Structure 1
């Protein structure tokens, strides 16, 4: 049997398979032990078995398996071994120059190689209602909504993107994608992504949760601060129910991507317009969403307050919240400083574009501004929950340990 027949079968299977898979040993038409050993010795194929990885059908990484182990794999017909052509073996294959990321797979790159892109590429999707962005802070997905899907169109599906960062003095976000996900895009869309590929890839680093979750299959123990705030709101309303007063928040939300308010996420492109749009979302969630009915009803150890001020005008929700908390809660902490002022800050920032003509501009400091604002908002909402926990009718509400300790709550 000629050596090139065995090698060609492995190459053909790799290139023609849907996900650039390895040829299983039990599926080979031209199995020849001696030829396989020679191919391994000459660095033309790689033999990966279930002894090295959970799924030998994909070559996710450069495993650098010693040749003697590869030879044992190739000799054991009972093992679950798959054969892959090396970059050396693929040097002469015909490649598709219209698909830059498919090319890399055709040349033998590993599936889980990560490519970094300018975060601006995500604006194409977040601002287009045809697309659904499933964002969880450290990772997310992109797909076309069902009503816009067309099999004949250049459909776009990014199974997983990771939040990444560019080295430097200031927080600068990027986006990370596995090579295999890019290779599955149409040629047209691959070229679009190629235009946003960052030149200095070695200055980029993807969030550790992305690697832990998708590469090692580990649970991510960090909690996104955006989710923490939502969970605090839910608990606060449960506390209100226990205290037999109306809920503090007219609406609460879930932490699944389709339950969260639109725009309640990390800012991708750092522009002032995106920043002000985000502040508007916070105002609707945490200022306009406060129910003044909470403050008007008497309860056990709770005294309600009047809706009108001394001049007969309705008090604002934050004014009533401050008056009500200070009347009903005896504490050494400065309630206005910890709870009221951060919420007032949201309203104050929101008033800038509402009452002035502003110019949009690119500002990398927007990332830090957003993080600082979210952290202050979290502390304010958490502060309310902590104060309510002291009420004898509310202290039985079950609270997750991670919210009690406040540990591992992060901004991505």
Structure 2
């Protein structure tokens, strides 16, 4: 199976597992391989504009797609502070930070790299999105965008795969069916 389809399937399974755990779905969207969002596939032309659009869409499907409702009741969703004049400031925590805190609170493992493996893809995709969101650049043609896209979708897939494996350790999730090709990681990105 292709990494685009595997990414979407992992998210659906994670949502099923969240329900089994008695929680709201972690991801708000529910796409599958046969109903992908427009533009969620290989680049047609390796241009900066197409790559930037893909980065934005992937971040919308990953970090921006995390539901705050999943964390409600387990974590404080905002931070409070005071301005110099004494007024209170309330700022929502970012979704990646919420996921980081939730993993700290809810999953213990001997694998020191586990949390890093989950969060790396989220942060890599967010960083890839940040640059085009804050700069105006010429739309250059560069075949390296093909490889960069594959690396980015692979990082996102590995994050959701590791997260699904984490959820699978919950006693209520042990019987959630995961297709063999996904369980074994038989994914290609070319």
TM-score > 0.5 by shorter chain = yes
1:366 aligns with 2:145: yes
1:334 aligns with: 113
Q: For 1:267, which of 13, 19, 43 is the aligned residue?
A: 43
1:387 aligns with 2:163: no
Query: CA-to-partner distance for each residue in 1:41-60, whole Å, 9 max, x for gaps?
Result: xxxxxxxxxxxxxxxxxxxx
State the 1:319 CA deviation.
0.4
Structure-2 separation of matches of 1:373 and 1:289: 17
Structure-2 separation of matches of 1:376 and 1:254: 19
Larger RCO (CA under 8 A, 6+ residues apart): 2
Q: For 1:239, which of 17, 22, 28 is the aligned residue?
A: 17
State the 1:310 CA deviation.
4.8
Structure-2 separation of matches of 1:357 and 1:242: 45
Q: For 1:345, which of 95, 101, 124 is the aligned residue?
A: 124
Structure-1 separation of matches of 2:70 and 2:160: 16
C-alpha contact 2:103 2:115 (8 A) present in aligned 1 = no
State the 1:250 CA deviation.
0.7
2:179 aligns with: 400
Stretches of structure 2 lacking an aligned partner (at least 5 in a row)? 82-89
Stretches of structure 1 lacking an aligned partner (at least 5 in a row)? 1-222, 298-303
Structure-2 separation of matches of 1:348 and 1:379: 16
Larger Rg: 1
C-alpha contact 1:279 1:350 (8 A) present in aligned 2 = yes
C-alpha contact 2:124 2:155 (8 A) present in aligned 1 = no
State the 1:350 CA deviation.
1.2
- The alignment partner of 1:284 has SS state of helix
1:308 aligns with: 78
The alignment's C-alpha RMSD in Å is 1.2
Alignment of 1:278-293 (within 5 A): 278-293=54-69
C-alpha contact 2:121 2:157 (8 A) present in aligned 1 = no
Structure-2 separation of matches of 1:374 and 1:263: 13
- Tell me how many residue pairs correspond in the alignment: 181
Distance 1:387 1:321, change over 3 A: same
More helix by share: 2
Q: For 2:156, which of 369, 372, 377 is the aligned residue?
A: 377
- The alignment partner of 1:393 has SS state of helix
Structure-2 separation of matches of 1:266 and 1:329: 35
1:251 aligns with: 29
Q: For 1:325, which of 103, 110, 120 is the aligned residue?
A: 103
1:410 aligns with: 188
State the 1:336 CA deviation.
4.0
Structure-2 separation of matches of 1:335 and 1:322: 11
C-alpha contact 1:276 1:353 (8 A) present in aligned 2 = yes
- The alignment partner of 1:244 has SS state of coil
Structure-2 separation of matches of 1:255 and 1:373: 18
Structure-2 separation of matches of 1:305 and 1:327: 9
- The alignment partner of 2:142 has SS state of coil
Alignment of 1:168-207 (within 5 A): none
TM-score, normalised to structure 1, is: 0.43
Structure-2 separation of matches of 1:362 and 1:270: 6
State the 1:357 CA deviation.
1.2
Structure-2 separation of matches of 1:282 and 1:357: 20
